[in-house]
Amino acid sequence: MTDLTYNLNGGFKPTAKRFADLGGPDFFPTPAWATFALIDNEKFNGEIWECACGDGSMSRVLGQTCQPVRSSDLYDRGYGEAGVDFLRAERTTDNVITNPPYNCAEGFVASGVKLAKRKLALLLRLAFLEGANRANTIFSKMPPARVWVFSERITFYPSGVEPKGSGATAYAWFVWDKEAEGPTELRWFKPGYKARYAQLRHVLVEQDRARGKTTR
């Protein structure tokens, strides 16, 4: 069930809200092209843990890195291991990559920095850079190595809704790299990922079906 305010004159508007999908708190499948932009510009070695995997939208793209991918979520959305609370996890991994629930993004930073031995990459609003509290905690004590700003806007829709229009919120990939030295670098993705990989999610889902791959 989706928020009825989404439907305007028979169409769906891009979300500016955080509760469009009422099937579980704060669930917004990540467009495949947004994940591909990350793995096209950042190299990940070793296991990747997608710890808020939802319906597997991001995990399927991460599988293109040829690195082992572990998928989990606090809620059961039909993909990966359900019932795993990342904020209380103790299991370490090489890399953590996810689009965290907005209402606990800071907790994901703290847990991710602790559990990721190599890299932590979180898809966050660009406005996450703001705020006195984060300036005094995250950015003064454990700043990211790189912030990748999208040149194109990401639009989040409830699962199963055809994407149309453009979002109004700017997003970026925040990358904590345990091997990086020096101050935080601000970088930009080149335009074109959105058009180039518009159908990527559908292709990956069909590949899963063709291989008879189960989600558990």
Q: What is the CATH number of the domain that holds 177?
A: 3.40.50.150
pTM higher than 0.85: no
For the stretch 55-79, what's the b/e string if a residue is b when 16 or more beta carbons lie within 10 angstroms of its beta carbon?
A: bbbbbbbbbebebebbbbbbbebeb
Is residue 215 in a domain? no
Which residue range forms the structural domain that includes residue 149? 30-125+132-210
Is residue 21 in a domain? no
Is residue 172 in a domain? yes
What's the confidence (pLDDT) of residue 211?
Answer: 59
Number of domains in the chain: 1
pLDDT tens for each residue of the chain, 216 residues long: 333 333 333 343 443 433 333 344 556 789 999 999 999 999 999 999 999 999 999 999 999 999 999 999 999 999 999 999 999 999 999 999 999 998 899 999 999 999 999 999 999 999 999 999 999 999 999 999 999 999 999 987 655 555 555 567 899 999 999 999 999 999 999 999 988 877 665 666 666 666 565 444
What's the confidence (pLDDT) of residue 69?
Answer: 98
Is residue 16 in a domain? no
Residue type, 66: C
Is residue 109 in a domain? yes
User: Residue 191 to residues 147, 152, 180: CA-CA distances in angstroms?
Assistant: 16, 6, 26
Is residue 13 in a domain? no
Is residue 46 in a domain? yes
Is residue 8 in a domain? no
